[in-house]
Amino acid sequence: MWQPNGCIFVGIVCSIALCAAAGFTHEGHRSFLRVHNKLRSDVAMGRYVAKGGVKKPPATNMKMLLWNSSLADSAQKYAETCPKEHSEIDNIGESLFWIGGEKLSEDYNQYAKMASDVWKEEFQKFDWSTNNLTATLFKSGVGHATQMVWADTDRIGCGAKLCGRKSPKIAVVCHYYPAGNTLSRLIYDEGKTCSSCPTGTTCNQHLGLCAPPGGFRRVVRG
Ligand SMILES: *[C@@H]1O[C@H](CO)[C@@H](O)[C@H](O)[C@H]1NC(C)=O
Ligand SMILES: *[C@@H]1O[C@H](CO)[C@@H](O)[C@H](O)[C@H]1NC(C)=O
């Protein structure tokens, strides 16, 4: 009788230890950056085709997205609450993703690409006919994707948490800065790739993205 209880006790200790170490590791960070920067690069270089064959013009000012640990901390903290709605933290863009099912794992890294891909696909399912983020465009269902390619956003951090006992779900939260999705503003400026890189950035010719010094290495290393 004693041993089973001992096992249960050990089990609880282990899961608490897992909780403390929760979230994404470098592998997950790299997956988020890879999917986001690939989409940003395709758009910036004029190679992206949205739903209905809408070929997007290249971007003059698309910044490279880098990982930011402060954003990852705030995203992880919010994920731990198993959120059902947005946090409404000021000046931060936020995207949420949930996945349920039988075979959920606390190895969260696999959900980094999954969440990013689902967000990205909004441009294939809905509408991207204008770079002005009008209320109509936003309401069409592309809000996660427009944040992914918001030109001025240059950092991201994400967290994840296994939630719910009866019907378990993984909650994924990403925080972005500067926040995108300001209505009536341009998602990016159209024109020659990298021709208006913001101060403090230079063009990474390979990706067509405006990057800070050492940015490319940081993206590759995660
Ligand atoms: C994360 O962003 C904050 C401000 O948004 C900045 O102060 C900090 O240096 C950044 N950290 C990293 C690792 O880039
Ligand atoms: C976007 O469209 C809205 C409404 O049509 C307009 O008021 C706004 O000035 C436009 N913004 C830009 C940056 O063109």
* Least distant ligand from the CA of 130: 2
Residue nearest to atom 7 of ligand 1 (CA): 70
Binding site membership of 182 for ligand 2 (Cβ less than 6 Å): no
pLDDT at 222 over 90: no
Q: Which ligand is nearest to the CA of 69?
A: 1
What is the 106 CA–ligand 1 centroid distance (Å)?
A: 27
Tens digits of residue pLDDT in 134-171: 999 999 999 999 999 999 999 999 999 999 988 899 99
Kindly tell me if the per-residue pLDDT of 46 is higher than 70: yes
Residue nearest to atom 5 of ligand 1 (CA): 177
CB of 168 within 8 A of CB of 104? yes
> Burial letters for 206-222: b for 16+ Cβ neighbours within 10 Å, e otherwise?
ebbbbbeeebbeebeeb
Closest CA relative to residue 147, chosen from 98, 110, 185, 193: 185
Q: Which ligand is nearest to the CA of 179?
A: 1
The pLDDT tens digits for 65-74 are 999 999 999 9
Nearest CA to ligand 2 atom 3: 184
Between 1 and 210, the more confident residue is: 210
Q: What are phi and psi of 82, to 5 degrees?
A: 50, 60
Structure tokens given for 61: 């000012």
Going by pLDDT thresholds of 50, 70 and 90, the confidence category of residue 2 is very low
Q: Is the pLDDT of residue 13 over 80?
A: no
Give CA–CA dist 128/54, Å, rounded. 7
Using alpha carbons only, give the angle 81, 156, 108 rounded to the nearest 5 degrees: 50
Q: How many alpha carbons fall within 13 Å on the CB side of residue 33?
A: 28
First-to-last C-alpha distance (Å) of the chain: 48
List ligand 1's pocket residues with C-beta within 6 A.
68-70, 155, 177
Whole-number Å distance, alpha carbon 156 to ligand 1 midpoint, is 10
Q: Which numbered atom of ligand 2 lies nearest the CA of 133? A: 1
Phi, psi of 145 (to 5 degrees): -70, -40
Tokens 């997956």 belong to residue: 31
Comparing CA positions, the residue from 18, 23, 12 lying closest to residue 80 is 23
pLDDT tens profile 112-136? 999 999 999 999 999 899 999 999 9
Q: What angle do helix axes 26-44 and 110-120 make, rounded to 10 degrees?
A: 20
In the predicted model, what is the mean pLDDT of residues 19-46? 90
Please report the pLDDT score of residue 7 as a whole number.
34
| Preceding amide of 168 cis, omega within 30 | no
Please report the atom of ligand 1 found closest to the CA of residue 70. 1
* Distance of CA 15 from the midpoint of ligand 2 (Å): 51
d(CA 53, CA 64): 25
In the reported structure, the alpha carbon of residue 69 is separated from the centroid of ligand 1 by a whole-number distance in angstroms of: 7
Q: From atom 13 of ligand 2, which residue's Cα is the shortest distance away?
A: 185
Tell me: the pLDDT tens digits for 47-57?
Answer: 999 999 999 99
**Confidence at residue 175, expressed as pLDDT on a 0 to 100 scale:** 98
pLDDT band at 221 (very low <50, low <70, confident <90, very high): low
Average pLDDT score, the chain: 89
Q: How far apart are alpha carbons 115 and 38 in whole angstroms?
A: 15
Cβ of 135 below 6 Å from ligand 2? no
What distance in Å separates the CA atoms of residue 150 and residue 30, rounded to the nearest whole number? Answer: 19
**pLDDT the model gives residue 10:** 37
State how far Cα 59 lies from the chain centre. 20
pTM of the model: 0.89
The pLDDT value recorded for residue 220 is 64
Alpha helices per DSSP H over 45-154: 69-79, 110-120, 122-125, 135-137, 143-148
Which residue type is seen at 9? Answer: F
- The fraction of the chain above a pLDDT of 70, given in percent, is 89
